[in-house]
Structure 1
Amino acid sequence: MPAAAFESLTVDAEGLPLHVRQRGARGVRGAPVVLMLHGWLDHSHSFDPLCEHLPEAWRTVLLDFRGMGQSAHAGPGAAYHFSDHLLDVEATLDGLALPPVHLVGHSLGGIVALAYAAARPERVKSLTLIESLGPSGGPPTGAVQRLRGFLDDARRPPNRKRYPTVEAAAERLRQANPTLSPDAALLFARHGTRRTPEGDFAFTFDPRHRRRFGQGFDEAQWLALEAAVTCPVQLLRGTEGLSPAPELLEGRLAALRTRVSPPRSFEGGHHVHLEQPAAIAAAIAGFVSEASSS
């Protein structure tokens, strides 16, 4: 089903408008409800090619995190924190009155999905993590440097770069992420930029998202979160993606005390769901169908 079949809606996150898109709200009774969470500085359209291969009977919901895509930016003086994105998920579930959902998250979206599933296990039926199995973590001693980085970044004014054309913005994305295909970069740029009053183009994400978090999870804290997940989990990776060290991956998979499918690899990079949308969609469809019937 083409992406145009999605309807755009707004949900309220305690006064902050969040943009969501959905299809299948009046579809087949009892069909799976799937909520998709995009990566850092991306937007919900990053799932458009994938959604063309998912069952039309599903209720599929795509969220733009706060300060990204078409969702509102945080107000002056505010900062973005990881836990804010859990509020975005909860606002979407509440605002659309969704039953327990199957969460699909890419990169940052996968980290948010796993953390939300740990905090609200009764609201999540399964987790599909694309190129994601938690933050970088690190030892507790990193907390001091993290706070220093946060304070340093807060002194720097946001820098919103401008580009003469959408194509130029797409090329900048490819420079930052060489594994991104030209078509994928253009999709990101078309839906992730807007024309400025001066006639050029700027990305819609809030540049304050580039600032470092003041707080984060060390490895022990993250493993404790993983241990609280109760739903089935599957991990989908790109062969040229961001692969964690083997011992880190092994430890994190072992920390999940629920049913974990063997990790699956697909030819591609960090945005493998854009490079192999049909194959990734098939993996999601099979996993969600199995989790729905168990």
Structure 2
Amino acid sequence: MSNSEQRECTGVEIKVPWGHISGKWWGPQTTRPILALHGWQDNAGSFDTLIPLLPPHIGILAIDLPGHGFSSRIPDGQMYYNLDYVTTVCMIMKEYNWDKVSILGHSMGSIVGFLLAGIFPDKVELLIGLDAYKPLSVMEDYYSVKMNHIITLFLIADDRNRNESEPPSYPYDECIEKLYIGAGSSIDRDKCAHILERNIKRSTKYPDKYYFTRDSRIKYTNIGIWPKDLYSSVLEKITCPTLFIRALDSPVIPNAPPFDEHLSVLKKNPRFEYEEVDGRHHVHLNEPHKVSGIISKFLLKHTTPSAKL
């Protein structure tokens, strides 16, 4: 067994004003790690199969974003928003006294990375994005209808949280099936356990069943409006070494003009690299070998000795 396959991690908790951010710190803890950000409704377990295949001398801190995994939920009455996750990363940087950060993001986590690198280009040392780059948005003429729906369901979920009653529980195999279906069959059933480990808890009423622990409010996110030109202006500010990997069997990025136009903006950065791999949206979890070599090569090319912690 190789050294990378033997790689171990340590659980961490990072203080934030509303509680804590939980994470899994893989590898060395004497230097600043790569910060790994998962996708919507996933958690740090999303990187369990990929990280052991990456260079073992590079530390990686995979976190649970607020409301996900073992991290604290935001206060009652508050809505989740992509830019709030950018703020969370800044708070983590402040807690560890980092002047810069390197990001490995999947899906929503990748979007957060691109937003961070465009808003704070001097603070992002390198960026690796997996299969998403742009915040979810809707056409302006549909915005009021969509937000009507989201806010209505958010208020119901928020009331349920305050009620503090135990959510519905299911046998473990049914939890796997619910995750598999809920993720659009993107996560292989035999890989669902990596997400469920930080996403379910044994029922106090039915000891042979489990309930989902993520904050249900994250399903009703404030999506905002991100016009093409506005987001292009964010992307063109990115100057750090950037790697974007697109999963060809994923529905997340449609073959449409906006993607090509944004890709053209990103390619203006001379340190931007673009790769495509066969696989679904969670290819990094299902078949990590398809992306690990690409990512490792990029990391070894651009990673420099980091400041001591």
Deviation at residue 249 of structure 1 after TM alignment: 1.6
Relative distance call for 1:182 and 1:150 in structure 2 (3 A) is closer
Does the 8 Å CA contact 1:37/1:106 hold for their aligned counterparts?
yes
Equivalent positions of 1:183-194 (< 5 A) are 183-194=190-201
Q: 1:244 is matched with which residue: 248, 254, 271?
A: 254
> 2: CA distance between counterparts of 1:71 and 1:191?
10
Residues 246-282 of structure 1 show CA distances to partners (whole Å, capped at 9, x for unaligned) of 4222111112232354532222101010122123122
Q: CA deviation at 1:289?
A: 2.0
Say whether residues 1:81 and 2:92 are aligned partners.
Answer: no
Deviation string for 1:123-177 (max 9, x for gaps)? 2111111111212445444443344334322332357853432221111122232
1:234 aligned onto 2:243: yes
Deviation at 1:214, TM superposition (A): 5.8
Give the number of equivalent residue pairs.
290
CA contact (8 A) 1:153 1:211 kept: yes
Amino acid at match of 1:16: G
Gaps of 5+ in 2: 161-165, 305-309
Alignment of 1:24-35 (within 5 A): 24-27=27-30, 33-35=33-35
Identify the match of residue 203 of structure 1 among 212, 218, 225. Answer: 212
Q: Which residue of 1 aligns with 2:8?
A: 5
Q: Which residue of 2 aligns with 1:50?
A: 50
Q: Which amino acid aligns with 2:211?
A: A
- Sequence identity of aligned pairs in percent? 20
SS of the residue corresponding to residue 122 of structure 1 reads coil
Alignment partner, residue 165 of structure 1: 171
Instruction: Establish whether residue 253 from structure 1 lines up as the match of residue 263 from structure 2.
Output: yes
Distance 1:179 1:25, change over 3 A: closer
Q: Distance in 1 between matches of 2:222 and 2:256?
A: 26
1:51-66 pair list within 5 angstroms: 51-66=51-66
The alignment status of 1:286 with 2:297, answered yes or no, reads yes
Give the AA of the match of 1:221: L
Closer/same/farther in 2, CA of residues 214 and 179 from structure 1, 3 Å limit:
closer
Deviates more, 1:148-157 or 1:74-83: 148-157
Q: Secondary structure at 2:276's aligned position in 1? A: strand
Alpha-carbon offset, residue 211 of structure 1: 1.1
Gap change, CA 1:149 and 1:97, over 3 Å in 2: same
TM-superposed deviation, 1:83: 1.4
TM-score normalised over the length of structure 1: 0.89
Task: Determine the C-alpha separation between the residues in 2 that align with 1:87 and 1:2.
Answer: 33
- Give the counterpart of 1:222 among 226, 231, 241: 231
Alpha-carbon shift at residue 42 of structure 1 (Å): 0.2
List runs of 5+ in structure 1 lacking aligned partners: none
When structure 1 is superposed on structure 2, of 73-82 and 257-266 the one drifting more is 257-266
SS in 2 for 1:49: coil
Q: TM-score, normalised by structure 2?
A: 0.85
- 2:8/2:27 contact within 8 Å kept: no
2:36 matched residue in structure 1: 36
Deviations 1:229-256 (A, max 9, x none): 1112221122211232242221111122
User: Structure 1, residues 193-222: CA drift from partner, whole Å, max 9, x if none?
Assistant: 111211321222100111141633222221
Q: CA deviation at 1:49?
A: 0.5
Question: Please, which moves more after superposition, 265-274 or 248-257?
Answer: 248-257
RMSD: 2.3
